[in-house]
Structure 1
Amino acid sequence: MKKIEQKIDEAFKNTFLLPREKAVTQFLVDVFNSKYTFREDDKRIEVISLYYNASSPLSSLIVLPNYEYYSPDKTVQIAELHLKEHSLEDYSPIDVQELCKKVLNENNIDYSSYLDQNNHLDYAHYWENQFGLETDFLMNCWRNAKEQTQSRMLGFLESSDGESGMFDLDNNFVIPFDVELDEYLRSHGFIIEKAN
């Protein structure tokens, strides 16, 4: 089953992630190049939050100043990317299911025992990599955008529902729920002045 997982990973990347790479990377380049005016004052933003939609991580992305450091009261703009605006349709669980069926069919694997009464495939029994691939993809776009711009901005990936924790985009590290962001950054040698 490991080989099938790898084949589904590849198909998922090629079908859903790679077509979105240019748009997501350019969006982050625009953020780093100050295309968006986040605050009503001229305070330089050093720490941002990149939010994804918990139910559909690549349907839309939102960037805003990290509110642990920058007061939401002074925020005048958030950066939003809706991939539909780039002719990239959202993909649904049904689309992912169909992709899995295609790979299984191409490899002559009987998946009938994973079908429910509505003939829907429950791929959680053999493939659970979707979320990891999506977050790795976002982190890769982040790194590419930083290389292009030489930005020193720090960023943290968070879900819209807050359930998945906070990922350090530069270090690919999940910050434990019981650790404050300021404490985490200080432990890595970053002292960021909090703004009103």
Structure 2
Amino acid sequence: MKKIETKIDEAFRNTFLLPREKVVTNFLVDVLNSKYQFREDDKKIEVISLYYYASSPLSFLFALPNYEYYSPDKTIQIAELHLKEHSFEDYSNIDVQELCKKVLDENNIDYSAYLDEDNQLDFANYWENQFGLESDFLMNCWRNAKEKTQSKMIGFLESSDAGGGLFDLDNGYDVPFDVDVDEYLQSHGFIVTKEI
């Protein structure tokens, strides 16, 4: 099954992720180059939060100063990326399911045991890599944007519903729920002055 997972991973990357890479990276370049004026004052933003829409991570992204360090009351603009505005339709579970079926068919794998009563494929039984691939993709776009801009800004990836955890965009670490962001950054050698 590991081999088929790898083939689905590759198909998922090629179908859904790679076509969106340039648009997402360019958005993050704009964020890092301060195209968006987050505040009226000229306070330098050193820590940013990049949020993805929990139910469809690549349909809508937004960035803003990290509220552990900067007062939300002073935020006047949020950087937003709606991929539909760049001619990318959202992909649904049905689209992912069809992609999985295609890969299984191409490899002559009988998946009838994974069909539910509505003849829908439950890919959770053999492929659970979607979110990992999406978050790795966003972290890779962030790293590419940082390389292009040479920005020293620190970034965290968060879910719009706060249920997805907190990821260090620069290092790919999953920040444990019981660890404070300030404590985490200090343990990695970053001292950022808090506004609040």
Deviations 1:162-194 (A, max 9, x none): 112100011110111111101111111111111
Partner of 1:55: 55
TM-score relative to the length of structure 2: 0.99
CA distance in 2, matches of 1:174, 1:133: 14
CA distance in 1, matches of 2:181, 2:6: 35
Amino acid at match of 2:152: R
Partner of 2:80: 80
Partner of 1:145: 145
Cα shift at 1:70: 0.4
Partner of 1:129: 129
* Count of residues in correspondence between the two structures: 196
Amino acid at match of 2:101: K
Unmatched 5+ residue regions in structure 1?
A: none
CA distance in 2, matches of 1:161, 1:62: 13
Amino acid at match of 2:181: L
CA distance in 2, matches of 1:2, 1:107: 13
Tell me, yes or no, if structure 1 residue 92 matches structure 2 residue 57.
no
Amino acid at match of 1:149: T
**SS of equivalent residue, structure 1 residue 57:** coil
Cα shift at 1:40: 1.6
CA distance in 2, matches of 1:2, 1:181: 35
CA distance in 1, matches of 2:165, 2:44: 26
Partner of 1:22: 22
Deviations 1:124-165 (A, max 9, x none): 110000000000000000000000000000000000111121
Segments of 4+ moved more than 3 angstroms: none
**SS of equivalent residue, structure 2 residue 131:** helix
Identity of aligned residues (%): 80
Tell me, yes or no, if structure 1 residue 44 matches structure 2 residue 44.
yes
CA distance in 2, matches of 1:170, 1:117: 43
Cα shift at 1:112: 0.5
CA distance in 2, matches of 1:33, 1:57: 23
Unmatched 5+ residue regions in structure 2?
A: none
CA distance in 1, matches of 2:5, 2:187: 37
Partner of 2:186: 186
Partner of 1:176: 176
**SS of equivalent residue, structure 1 residue 171:** coil
Amino acid at match of 1:4: I
